[in-house]
Amino acid sequence: MGPASITHEQLEAFDEVGIAELARRLEEDDYPTAFAGLGDWHLLRALAIHRPELARPYVHLVDQEPFDEE
């Protein structure tokens, strides 16, 4: 699921249980490919923007820490 396919209705349908499950998947990072979790990350990011009160406990999963590639 890319960012363009996330609808307002999907975001409004989320509740504490749904976002906790989304966060669990992201924390476990047990996706079949390196890019499979990207859809969940985009969804959590959209929730953090549009429903910050719901995403607040999981914002650490959206934040990107700086790193040195060398």
Amino acid in position 68: D
pLDDT score for 34: 77
Q: State the pTM of this model.
A: 0.79
Of the two residues 56 and 67, the one the predictor is more confident about is: 56
What confidence category does residue 4 fall into, taking pLDDT thresholds of 50, 70 and 90?
A: low
pLDDT digits 0-9 by tens, 40-66: 999 999 999 999 999 999 999 987 655
Q: What is the mean pLDDT of residues 17-24?
A: 96
